[in-house]
Structure 1
Amino acid sequence: MMKNTALIFLILIGLYSMNIHAQNKILFVTSNQDFYGNTTIATANHFEEIIKPYDVFIKAGYTVDFVSPQGGAVPVGYINTSDSLQKKYLYNGWFMDKLEHTKKPTEVIIDDYTAIFYTGGGAAMYGVAENPVIQKIARSIYNKNGVISTICHGTAGIVYLTDENKKPLYSGRKITGFPDKFENRNAEYYKAFPFSIDKEINNNQGNFVYSDKGGDAFYIVDGRFVTGQDPTSASKVANEVIRILKTNFNNSDTSKKDDLEQITEVLLNYIEGTANGQPERLRKAFNPNFNLYTVEKDTLWIRSGEKYISNIKVGEKSNRKGSIISIDIEKDAAIAKAEIIVPNWRVFTDYFLILKYEGTWKIVHKSYTWRELLKA
């Protein structure tokens, strides 16, 4: 009897842990399509419609993974490098690596996610809607009280989405996306579309709605479907998804947000402590036995954290400028990346291993590299 009780306890603990983990993960659906149908007209996934909701989600403590029908690299386009947020992500190697290595649908662990988000761009019209495994993923997330969300042409991805009885999953729901009204229906790209989003949603018992104005951040929340008309609604759609998840999973991101805040503080203790001559802040950030690792002249160089801290003189400020590039958390372990610019000298890229023990996050390992800057 004791063995059976222990087994049941372990199963319950496992299910609880899995649920808490899932509450902080969102799956983005992208497309591998490079051209409009069989034409030579290039298409892509809409970069802004990826990075705007992505930025909202990760700042709220969620982890975002990417899937595509074939897995691997997906085309991105509609990029505006004058937009600071787009520029930030375009030159973020860690983020762009995610788009280069999207998951195959069969690699997705469905129980990890409580929301699915279909990104837009002309590429979204191809390969996603008819993919049975992506359909199964979305249906399973929805059946677990999760959220289905789309933006612009990403709504194409749900047109054939049904329940277990082959009834449209969004039957009777208001759904929006990029409407035919704003398409150039005489253009070759549109003629290559496999279907009209408006018509397919309506034909499958949905109620397709849109703003006649366009570009006014129009979106619709109907139950656990959150859909946006065009890129201007991307941030609002993401915030609505978060609101529903917090309501449906009232433990949803509390622990993760706390951890994210703590890790951010640890990293700022390192960045600002070094720049402002505050060795006591560095000691708060580091495990006492931590080391720094780099390679110089093809030789591994190891320096103790204590020696690093001893070089920081109290009150002696420097012109170093640091920023946190990314934080990835999994239970009691995290990895982070930061960039440190020392004008007229070097740009350092720091990678950290951060662990939580005795209720506190500490940097236990730092590896880094650098590149030289041209002197003014």
Structure 2
Amino acid sequence: MNKLIVLILVFTGLYSQSFYAQKNILFVTSNQDYYEPTKISTANHFEEIVVPYDVFTKAGYKVDFISPKGGAIPIGYINASDSIQKKYLYDSWFMNKLAHTRKPDEVAANHYSAIFYSGGGAAMFGVAEDQTIQKIAREIYSKNGVVSTICHGTAGIAYLRDENGVSLYAGKKITGYPDKFERKEEEYYKTFPFAIDKAITANKGSFVYSDKGGDGFYSVDGRFVTGQDPSSATKVANEVVTLLSKNFKETNGTHKKSDSDQIRETLLDYIEGTANGQPERLRKAFHPNFNLYSVANDTLWIRSGQKYIADIKVGQKSNRIGRIIAVDIEKDAAIAKAEIKVPNWRTFTNYFILLKYEGTWKIIHKSYSWLATPKKE
């Protein structure tokens, strides 16, 4: 009987640990202040931290931060006019987390289901060669976890290999900030320890990128999710959440998704289906008889939902960047708000009404407004 109790306790402990890890993501940042040996300041990219952080926390994940030395990290590339950056810039609790990042040896890899390397020029220094961070990433990945990077944060996985010295991403498509976009004549570039694309290739990865830049380009290959530059931050974070949800479902068939998770999946079917040319995902998200509503020239404009979906061509991707802002649920009814940015054109604010019937949440109504993107002088 005692053996049975011990087995039950061990199983329960392992299950609890696994469940706990499912809802935790580890962010990797850098302590670098300067492009040494120069006195040119560098920093962690604020947008590349707060945008994914916002997506992850709204999806129910807890985020912890580490840096090679622990403690305060430099932040930069801040746009205080951006609503989401402004929100976190003046959030003392959040900023306190950045002021007290943990050292790598202060965290346990089995507490996390994903590791995310944020970018900024600082990410080129101190992270890639940190053996403890490499070990953490390796352990997370070995337990069906996700490894994710954005922009210069991809430098952090330059030397990522398994216990036998074999690249963890051999043959996989990886993106990050391409060397061709660097200003090679500038002093900052001359301090870089390596070029990201060449380092990824040397470690047997297949480096891919978009020649456009700023178009939200990202790559998902297995359990590696990587983004080219800040414009991909939301997409990368959403893909990580999607992968983790899938992994959780596969490893624990008894888990029942919450209404919040189901609504988020429905909204992502709309956001990602439109951006990636996947009309079947829109049909999954919307009720067959839904319409879209907006106001033009002080006149109500109603558009057929079926016509809207029909205009989405299979495989025709766009550079739309979407994020979920808020969801409010009451029993079998919910309202949601999302933002869709089309670079150099418009920012749309969408409002949705969703209802749950036959066990599934569907969007039955969408209304929206938009603002034109200010032209650069």
| 1:168 shift after superposition | 1.1
Q: Distance in 1 between matches of 2:36 and 2:140?
A: 30
Residue 234 (structure 1) aligns with:
233
Matched with 1:265 is: none
Moved over 6 A (4+): 258-261
Partner Cα separation in structure 1 for residue 230 and residue 38 of structure 2? 25
Q: Where does residue 52 of structure 1 map in the other structure? A: 51
Q: Structure 1 residue 204: deviation in Å? A: 1.2
| Amino acid corresponding to residue 2 of structure 2 in structure 1 | K
Distance 1:210 1:30 in 2: 23
Task: Give the 5 Å matches for 1:192-341.
Answer: 192-250=191-249
Q: Secondary structure at the match of 2:147?
A: strand
Counterpart AA for 1:154: G
Larger Rg: 1
Shift of 1:39: 1.0
Instruction: Please give the alpha-carbon distance, in whole angstroms, between the structure 2 residues aligned to 1:8 and 1:174.
Output: 42
**Residues 89 and 95 of structure 1 are in contact (CA less than 8 Å); yes or no, is this contact kept in structure 2?**
yes
Q: Which amino acid aligns with 1:21?
A: Y
Partner of 2:95: 96
1-structure distance, mates of 2:88, 2:8: 43
Q: Partners of 2:175 and 2:36 in 1: how far apart?
A: 23
Determine the C-alpha separation between the residues in 2 that align with 1:65 and 1:257.
Answer: 23
Map 1:136-147; keep pairs closer than 5 Å: 136-147=135-146
Alignment TM-score, normalising by the size of structure 1: 0.67
**Structure 1 counterpart of 2:167:** 168
Q: Distance in 2 between the 1:63 and 1:161 partners?
A: 24
Q: 2:124: which partner in 1?
A: 125
Residue 257 (structure 1) shift: 5.7
Alpha-carbon separation, structure 1, partners of 2:243 and 2:23: 13
Cα 1:256–1:124, aligned 2, differ >3 Å: closer, same or farther? Answer: farther
Cα distance in 2 for partners of 1:202, 1:177 equals 12
CA–CA separation in structure 2 for the residues paired with 1:87 and 1:139: 34
Q: Distance in 2 between matches of 1:259 and 1:178?
A: 34
Secondary structure at the aligned position of 1:249 is classed as helix
Q: Structure 2 counterpart of 1:206, which letter?
A: G
Aligned 8 A contact 2:59 2:261 in 1: no
Which residue of structure 2 lines up, in the alignment, with residue 185 of structure 1?
A: 184
User: For each residue in 1:186-229, what CA deviation from the matched residue of structure 2 results, as whole angstroms up to 9, or x when unmatched?
Assistant: 11000000100011111111111100000000000011000000
Separation in 1, partners of 2:208, 2:48: 20
Alpha-carbon separation, structure 1, partners of 2:178 and 2:52: 21
In structure 1, what residue type is equivalent to 2:223? R
Cα RMSD over matched residues? 1.9
Contact preservation (8 Å) 1:159, 1:201? yes
* 1:270-293 Cα shifts (integer Å, max 9, x gaps): xxxxxxxxxxxxxxxxxxxxxxxx
**Where in structure 1 are there 5+ consecutive unaligned residues?**
262-376
Please tell me whether the aligned partners of residues 32 and 75 of structure 1 are also in contact (alpha carbons under 8 angstroms): yes
Distance in 2 between the 1:6 and 1:89 partners? Answer: 47
What residue in structure 1 maps to residue 295 of structure 2?
A: none
Cα distance, 1:37 vs structure 2: 2.4
Alignment of 1:16-31 (within 5 A): 16-31=15-30
1:148 aligns with 2:115: no
Q: CA deviation at 1:259?
A: 9.3
What one-letter code is carried by the residue in structure 1 that aligns with 2:230? Answer: P
